[in-house]
Structure 1
Amino acid sequence: MMEIHDYTWIFAVGMVVAFMDAYGIGANDVANSFATSVSSNSLTLAQACIVACFTEFLGAVLLGANTAGTIKGGILSPANYVEQPEMLMLAMLCALCGSAAWVLTACKFGWPVSSTHSIVGAIIGVGIAGFGPSSIFWGWGGVATIISSWFISPIVAGLVAAAIYTITKHAILRRVESFKWGIRLVPVYFFVTIAIEAFYIMLEAPGLGEDVLGGMGGVIGIALGIAAVFAAFCQFFFCPWVVRRVKGREYLKWYHMFVIPWLSKRRTIEEVDAEKNAQNHGSIHSTSPNELLNAGDEKMNKLDTDGEVIIDEAVAPKESMFARLKTKAVSKLMNGINQDVRNLENEKLTDMHANAEIFEDDAEYLFSFLQVITACMASFAHGSNDVSNAVGPISSIYEIWNSASVSDSVGIPVWILVYGGIGIDIGLATMGYRVMRAMGNNITFFTPSRGFCAELAAALTVLTCSKIGLPVSTTLCITGASAAIGLCNKNGYKAVNWKMLGFCGLSWIITLPCAGTVAGLLFAICSNAPHFT
């Protein structure tokens, strides 16, 4: 009979493997949240990683408990493990191993797989290995619900993205004075985007919700109020700042936005650039004769013989081993954010990109700021949904280790959500570029307006599913939205990389059996291995 805190080794190993799984989730699914922003040049890869460190973490902590509960107890039948709770601990450990092994392998080769598919397949694998197919909830509310969401989510996200982009295209982008129409309507876009995000945060964040805020009406009212404040800021601060910067060509920094109504007219960008060039030119011609002689001496020093160079190196202090290791470590850590993932120089994608409609740069510039907001929203949604894939099984292990019993429904500890969020952040910052390069412009050509529509649609779909506890795949949502945006071009079918979409579909199909086979075989070996009594 299992006692409390028995099999601590399973809990300890499970914590390590859960972190590895969360790392793989961040490294693989980061493309779902920020690939379109980086591809459209609204954010650099480094900026995307910095922003995502906060939004992924907050999404995991604030909204991750719902879907984590579905992963934890919505697939396997806990009743089969009541007599031997430790076997459920082992089953969840093997599931984590199978999921982490597959996701990390996919990350290594840049395959955009679904981490949701991976953990679901792994749990199904251990369930079948332990008790046969009858141990799995195959009906609605279990596997059937999850599988159906894989087909529904990309279609829904695609339809929403196509609707938003079609409205944007006809209301702003295709008009003769598209920038003017963009200035008129961008506050509306700010209002809608912020209202959606605020609604979901207040509905699910700890300490908030319907009961605290006066029912659904209170939640909606507060969300609309917050959105109205942001829309007003956009109308009276952001829009005048953009007009003066883009049309007036004034030399304005981002922080001038907050004081723009009281800011007097400034010099133009061209005037500032001309002044800088003149200063640089003047500094060259004002060099003193002594400075010129010194410069000549430096050039002569470069012509030293090899023997003299060796003497100089011997005299110069050598870099310490610690300094060399520090430099190497920093280089390794920064490698993940110093990558080019936009695919604009890829000759194989030139024809596909050529079929995308090109709109006025000034109008597209407006959507760069909106896309930063939707990127944060999509990342928040990703953290809320996909953290469950790593912390669902480890929370089950922790509950059994702490109580020596199997329970149908126990809350997910906040510290486990924090733990998973940290793993996701580290993964996306160090290896996320591999899969991000496979998404974005590799599916269709992205501009800020297209990226905004795709991200808003995907985030809306994922947040809605997180609200009802349905662990949809963020990968499928953003892929469906991206494909739909591509199809909205004049030659839509030519503006989409169908080969890449087919590759994505294949990777999703093989994820279930691959992760399930690894997890199932591992559980079968461990549970049937000889042991001392």
Structure 2
Amino acid sequence: MSNQQGDPRHLETLDRDLARFSNLERATSYVSRPLVGPGISLVFVALAGIAAALFFGQADNALIVIIAACFGAYMALNIGANDVANNMGPAVGANALSMGGAIAIAVVFESAGALIAGGDVVSTVAKGIIAPETMGTAEIFIWAMMAALLSAALWVNLATWVGAPVSTTHSVVGGVMGAGIAAAGFAAVNWPTMTKIAASWVISPVLGGVIAALFLWVIKSRIIYRDDKIAAARKWVPVLVGIMAGTFATYLALKGLKKIISIDLSTAVMIGAAIGLCVWAVMIPVIRRQSEGLENRNKSLKLLFGIPLVVSAALLSFAHGANDVANAVGPLAAIVQASQSGDFTAAVSIPFWVMVIGAFGISFGLFLFGPKLIRMVGSQITKLNPMRAYCVALSAAITVIMASWLGLPVSSTHIAVGGVFGVGFFREWDAERRIRKARLTMPDRPVYAPEERRRRKLVRRSHFMTIIAAWLITVPAAALLSGALFLLITFVVGTA
């Protein structure tokens, strides 16, 4: 036996067998990796159901609340996977943050925004999309909200899988509208509100894109195209950071702190202006110190925008968590209230345990599935650097403030992605302008053929068309899906 073990042929056979086992382990690990995210998500959804059972296990409608809690957890996961990419994508695409750092910051600030400043009271149903009294009974209202919640989650999940950043707000709006029509007819829908939302499909991205392009033009004309870039940066970067600080202070005062204190627009603007002036004064010596010894080149300028960009991403995440967590848990809270009291026409208070499901769901969704959309927004639409990403983040905050002033229901997704498009299309226009100018001064300079110039476009047209198409069909697709789910649920319940 010992001779056989020492036989080189036996050792070769053993090595081959061990290699096969090693390859099998690697293959198993590779195959199972895509299943880790869905597996953890399933566990989280189950835990949400268990939490609901602990709170409502003795109630008459306990099963309904448990199922609704699972749907709400599923929706929160999808918001984290899709919506949060808009805040973190530009910072990651500009290499101001690593993917891991972006996810860590977003998880902390999204959760903090949801739990500290999350909406205490949401309007009756999804910002007045339908009139609850048209539902007839609490039972029909509950089935409608269940259908709306599930349809919105399914649509956002599909969009994430395709790689399209869509509005979760519009998904919920479409879901509520579709279920309302299926339950009570077209008269149940508040059409003036829907008209405003439809207008926001165009206004949000265009306004975000124009503002982002405007700030990029300021940065290029006042800093990048100057002979002494560092001297220009010392003058203008504190101004830009002060504008950013003042804008975000206004944004958070208006949108992120409603639960803690109610502030009107004029007061919020005054607070923002005061904070902006203070930050501008503080940043003058800071930028002067940071810029010492830097070379007079564009690459040096990126260092001066890195920290402001990271801070802006964190603040956007806080405000997003405070605002958009209601998309996940608003219909769930409405179901809980209707199940408990039978009252489905009053304003809906969101219980703390429901808010926790929303906050943790968004965090898990971002951690497990967010990188795909973060890469899409940050680097696959157009190439971003810290200056361009800064313009996107600032335009998002300014556009939300302007929309609040105009009374328009806007989507943070549309604004942020519109800002990315605005930056990309401005760069294309600026490049063409400089080529035309160079032709006038240097007529002998070679000119690219039309095909080559189309190939060198700075915004990927395929991504642009996919995203626009997804935006246009979000509300009708979610509405159709929700209506079908409502009819299916009522049929199953009716035959049970």
TM over 0.5: yes
Query: Could you tell me whether the CA contact under 8 Å between 1:371 and 1:451 is conserved in 2?
Result: yes
Within-5 A mapping of 1:79-90: 79-81=133-135, 83-90=136-143
Match of 1:56 in 2: 110
Match of 1:395 among 329, 333, 345: 333
Q: 1:70 to 1:194 in 2, by over 3 A?
A: farther
Match of 1:232 in 2: 281
Larger relative contact order (Cα-Cα within 8 Å, sequence gap ≥ 6): 1
Within-5 A mapping of 1:187-198: 187-198=238-249
Shift of 1:216: 6.3
Say which is worse superposed, 6-15 or 38-47, in terms of deviation.
6-15
Deviation by residue 1:13-66 (Cα, 9 ceiling, x = unmatched): 111111110110110112211111111101111111111112222333455428
Separation in structure 2 between the aligned mates of residue 433 and residue 397 of structure 1, nearest angstrom: 32
Q: 1:464 to 1:496 in 2, by over 3 A?
A: same
Q: 1:73 to 1:482 in 2, by over 3 A?
A: closer
Say which is worse superposed, 31-40 or 509-518, in terms of deviation.
509-518
Within-5 A mapping of 1:404-483: 404-462=342-400, 464-465=402-403, 471-483=409-421
Shift of 1:217: 6.2
Within-5 A mapping of 1:34-45: 34-45=88-99
Match of 1:117 among 170, 175, 179: 170
Matched residue SS, 2:492: coil
Q: 1:512 to 1:72 in 2, by over 3 A?
A: closer
Separation in structure 2 between the aligned mates of residue 137 and residue 220 of structure 1, nearest angstrom: 31
Deviation by residue 1:481-509 (Cα, 9 ceiling, x = unmatched): 11111122223682222221111011223
Amino acid at match of 2:164: W
Match of 1:262 in 2: none
Matched residue SS, 2:144: helix
Match of 2:233 in 1: 182
Separation in structure 1 between the aligned mates of residue 222 and residue 489 of structure 2, nearest angstrom: 61
Deviation by residue 1:49-94 (Cα, 9 ceiling, x = unmatched): 111112222333455428953753511211112x411211111111
> Is 1:130 aligned with 2:183?
yes
Shift of 1:98: 0.9
Within-5 A mapping of 1:5-24: 5-24=59-78
Deviation by residue 1:261-306 (Cα, 9 ceiling, x = unmatched): xxxxxxxxxxxxxxxxxxxxxxxxxxxxxxxxxxxxxxxxxxxxxx
Match of 2:218 among 149, 155, 167: 167
Deviation by residue 1:232-285 (Cα, 9 ceiling, x = unmatched): 33223x32441347469xxxxxxxxxxxxxxxxxxxxxxxxxxxxxxxxxxxxx
Deviation by residue 1:365-406 (Cα, 9 ceiling, x = unmatched): 211122112222332343244323212211211221232112
Q: 1:459 to 1:218 in 2, by over 3 A?
A: closer
Query: Could you tell me whether the CA contact under 8 Å between 2:171 and 2:478 is conserved in 1?
Result: yes
Query: Could you tell me whether the CA contact under 8 Å between 2:114 and 2:318 is conserved in 1?
Result: yes
Match of 1:243 in 2: 291
Amino acid at match of 2:466: F
Deviation by residue 1:163-211 (Cα, 9 ceiling, x = unmatched): 111111111111111122112222212211111222232345233334x
Match of 1:491 among 408, 417, 431: 431
Amino acid at match of 2:235: R
Q: 1:181 to 1:155 in 2, by over 3 A?
A: same
Q: 1:506 to 1:221 in 2, by over 3 A?
A: closer
Q: 1:23 to 1:115 in 2, by over 3 A?
A: same
Query: Could you tell me whether the CA contact under 8 Å between 2:392 and 2:416 is conserved in 1?
Result: yes
Say which is worse superposed, 6-15 or 55-64, in terms of deviation.
55-64
Query: Could you tell me whether the CA contact under 8 Å between 1:67 and 1:385 is conserved in 2?
Result: no
Separation in structure 1 between the aligned mates of residue 324 and residue 265 of structure 2, nearest angstrom: 26
Within-5 A mapping of 1:18-417: 18-61=72-115, 64-65=118-119, 68-69=122-123, 72-81=126-135, 83-139=136-192, 142-203=193-254, 205=257, 206-210=259-263, 219-236=268-285, 238-244=286-292, 246=294, 360-417=298-355
Structure 1 unaligned regions, length at least 5: 249-358
Query: Could you tell me whether the CA contact under 8 Å between 2:166 and 2:414 is conserved in 1?
Result: no
Structure whose alpha-carbon radius of gyration is higher: 1
Separation in structure 2 between the aligned mates of residue 59 and residue 465 of structure 1, nearest angstrom: 21
Shift of 1:414: 4.9
Separation in structure 2 between the aligned mates of residue 470 and residue 422 of structure 1, nearest angstrom: 29
Task: Please report the TM-score for the alignment, with normalisation by the length of structure 2.
Answer: 0.76
Query: Could you tell me whether the CA contact under 8 Å between 2:234 and 2:287 is conserved in 1?
Result: yes
More helix by share: 2
Aligned residues: 412
Separation in structure 2 between the aligned mates of residue 44 and residue 485 of structure 1, nearest angstrom: 22
**C-alpha RMSD of the superposition:** 2.8
Structure 2 unaligned regions, length at least 5: 1-57, 433-453
Deviation by residue 1:421-441 (Cα, 9 ceiling, x = unmatched): 221111111111111222222
Shift of 1:410: 3.5
Separation in structure 1 between the aligned mates of residue 421 and residue 158 of structure 2, nearest angstrom: 26
Match of 2:450 in 1: none
Query: Could you tell me whether the CA contact under 8 Å between 1:70 and 1:469 is conserved in 2?
Result: no
Q: 1:71 to 1:448 in 2, by over 3 A?
A: farther
Q: 1:428 to 1:530 in 2, by over 3 A?
A: closer
Within-5 A mapping of 1:486-525: 486-489=424-427, 490-491=430-431, 494-525=457-488
Separation in structure 2 between the aligned mates of residue 230 and residue 23 of structure 1, nearest angstrom: 36
